[in-house]
């Protein structure tokens, strides 16, 4: 059994190495489509709308990569994956990009044949409870049953926090995300713990009476969420990394999907370089010089994406907080294009 497991792991890693040698960018451009790993349905981040079209903050990153590499944001395929499937799908070459509200950790960034390409949402693990439970703080949860999804970092974080705070709890660990939600809604557990953004999404989109529930004030971890690519393909890493940076940088420079054409006339050298008026950035990435223009025109800057998917223009109404621009006290700080 042990030999088989190692053989299977070796086969997965060999497939990933073969894909990297072929060059993911070349594969994507030849295929004419970006295959993007997303959640099985997480409102605000990646979920199909009433027409079956995938929408969300993470989906916008998939669309942006398609716009950058293929000139058309619609040329992507959403591949729904649960927590256990996500890294195997990336390693095997089933997907080109994992954009699935995944926390960047040292272990994931070194030991799984994957590499983070940036942070598109700064988050932290929290707690969702029914108001009828009558608790005001996570430290009041001693003896509670806690629902969480297996295959996530939430299990270890919960155990570490509970041990440090002398809180005993009964874990209710379930594989499928929707089954965890259903278990919580049905009262099989007292508490749901996951990233705070996920709790906001669950409360609004999955629970029949959202006003009967509250998110407790404690955030017990750092959960920097971002896209992952396979290790060993630096060219593709650069494409995904700088796609995200272009969206963040466009907001900092005041470039939006509505004014990007007017901004082509800007005399600001930073704007000129980003939009390809001054050539070079596209060539460095192996892309058309309009790569960033196409992202901003078709998808928008980071702030536009944030507000329509999870912010004030969405049902979730999440405040920018740490996800605000650095000039507004947040952590979104674009690397310079030069």
CATH value at residue 312: 3.40.190.10
Are both 68 and 186 inside the same structural domain?
Answer: no
Is residue 318 predicted with pLDDT exceeding 50?
yes
3-state secondary structure of 162: helix
Which of 45, 69, 59 minimizes the C-alpha distance to 299?
59
Domains of the chain: total: 2
Residue 18, pLDDT score: 46
Decide the pairing of beta strands 54-55 and 34-38.
Answer: unpaired
Residue 75, pLDDT score: 98
Domain containing 97 equals 2-122+225-248+301-321
Are both 51 and 132 inside the same structural domain?
Answer: no
Residue 176, pLDDT score: 83
Are both 115 and 230 inside the same structural domain?
Answer: yes
Token pair 């299977």: residue? 8
Are both 54 and 200 inside the same structural domain?
Answer: no
Mean pLDDT score, 111-131: 97
Query: Is 76 within the bounds of a domain?
Result: yes
Which of 51, 67, 71, 40 minimizes the C-alpha distance to 149?
40
Which of 91, 89, 3 minimizes the C-alpha distance to 40?
89
Are both 115 and 28 inside the same structural domain?
Answer: yes
> Which of 6-20, 41-55, 307-321 has the weakest average pLDDT?
6-20
Which of 156, 98, 97 minimizes the C-alpha distance to 125?
156
Residue 22, pLDDT score: 64
Is residue 106 predicted with pLDDT exceeding 50?
yes
Query: Is 283 within the bounds of a domain?
Result: no
* Chain centroid offset of residue 306 CA: 12
Are both 153 and 186 inside the same structural domain?
Answer: yes
Are both 69 and 95 inside the same structural domain?
Answer: yes
Of 168, 203, 221, the residue at which a domain comes to its end is 221
Query: Is 259 within the bounds of a domain?
Result: no
> Which of 3-7, 52-56, 121-125 has the weakest average pLDDT?
3-7
Query: Is 208 within the bounds of a domain?
Result: yes
Are both 114 and 211 inside the same structural domain?
Answer: no
Are both 105 and 149 inside the same structural domain?
Answer: no
Mean pLDDT score, 274-297: 98
Is residue 323 predicted with pLDDT exceeding 60?
yes
Q: Structure pTM?
A: 0.88
Question: What is the spatial distance between Cα 195 and Cα 44, in angstroms, rounded to a whole number?
Answer: 13
Q: Which residue has the higher pLDDT, 332 or 15?
A: 332
Per-chain mean pLDDT for the chain: 92
Is residue 88 predicted with pLDDT exceeding 90?
yes
Residue 84, pLDDT score: 87
Query: Is 294 within the bounds of a domain?
Result: no
3-state secondary structure of 184: helix
Is residue 225 predicted with pLDDT exceeding 60?
yes
Query: Is 336 within the bounds of a domain?
Result: no
- Is residue 139 classed exposed, middle or buried when 0-12, 13-18 and 19+ CB atoms within 10 A define those classes? middle
Question: What is the spatial distance between Cα 126 and Cα 257, in angstroms, rounded to a whole number?
Answer: 34
Are both 107 and 135 inside the same structural domain?
Answer: no
Is 16:232 a contact under the CB 8 Å cutoff?
yes
Query: Is 166 within the bounds of a domain?
Result: yes
Confidence of residue 178 (pLDDT cuts 50, 70, 90): confident
Is residue 273 predicted with pLDDT exceeding 50?
yes
Question: What is the spatial distance between Cα 144 and Cα 159, in angstroms, rounded to a whole number?
Answer: 13
Mean pLDDT score, 102-124: 96
Are both 229 and 96 inside the same structural domain?
Answer: yes
Residue 78, pLDDT score: 98
Is residue 226 predicted with pLDDT exceeding 70?
yes
Query: Is 263 within the bounds of a domain?
Result: no
Are both 17 and 94 inside the same structural domain?
Answer: yes
| Sequence-ordered strand ranges (E) for 82-233 | 97-98, 114-116, 121-123, 125-130, 144-149, 169-174, 191-195, 213-215, 223-225, 228-230
3-state secondary structure of 201: helix
Residue 5, pLDDT score: 40
Mean pLDDT score, 171-185: 91
Of 221, 256, 285, the residue at which a domain comes to its end is 221
Question: What is the spatial distance between Cα 132 and Cα 200, in angstroms, rounded to a whole number?
Answer: 18
């Amino acid at each position: 059994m042990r030999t088989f497991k190692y053989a299977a792991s070796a086969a997965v890693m060999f497939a990933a190495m073969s894909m990297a040698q072929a060059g993911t960018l070349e594969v994507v451009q030849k295929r004419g489509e970006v295959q993007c790993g997303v959640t099985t349905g997480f409102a605000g981040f990646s979920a199909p709308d009433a027409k079956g079209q995938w929408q969300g903050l993470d989906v916008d990153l998939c669309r942006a990569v398609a716009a950058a590499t293929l000139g058309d944001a619609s040329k992507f395929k959403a591949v729904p994956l649960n927590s256990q499937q996500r890294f195997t799908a990336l390693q095997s070459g089933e997907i080109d990009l994992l954009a699935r509200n995944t926390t960047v950790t040292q272990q994931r960034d070194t030991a799984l044949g994957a590499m983070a390409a940036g942070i598109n949402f700064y988050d932290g693990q929290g707690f969702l409870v029914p108001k009828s439970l009558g608790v005001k703080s996570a430290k009041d949860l001693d003896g509670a049953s806690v629902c969480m999804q297996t295959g996530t970092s939430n299990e270890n974080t919960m155990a570490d926090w509970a041990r440090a705070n002398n809180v005993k709890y009964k874990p209710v660990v379930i594989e499928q995300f929707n089954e965890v939600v259903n278990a919580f809604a049905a009262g099989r557990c007292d508490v749901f713990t996951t990233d705070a953004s996920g709790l906001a999404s669950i409360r609004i989109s999955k629970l029949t009476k959202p006003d009967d529930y509250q998110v407790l004030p404690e955030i017990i971890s750092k959960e920097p969420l971002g896209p992952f690519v396979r290790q060993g393909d630096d060219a593709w890493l650069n494409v995904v990394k700088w796609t995200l940076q272009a969206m963040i940088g466009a907001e900092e420079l005041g470039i939006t999907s509505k004014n990007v054409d007017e901004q082509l006339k800007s005399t600001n050298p930073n704007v000129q370089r980003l939009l390809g008026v001054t050539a070079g950035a596209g060539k460095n990435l192996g892309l058309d010089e309009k790569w960033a223009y196409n992202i901003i025109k078709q998808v928008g800057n980071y702030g536009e994406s944030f507000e329509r998917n999870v912010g004030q223009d969405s049902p979730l109404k999440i405040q920018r907080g740490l996800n605000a621009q650095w000039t507004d006290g947040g952590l979104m700080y674009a690397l310079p294009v030069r």
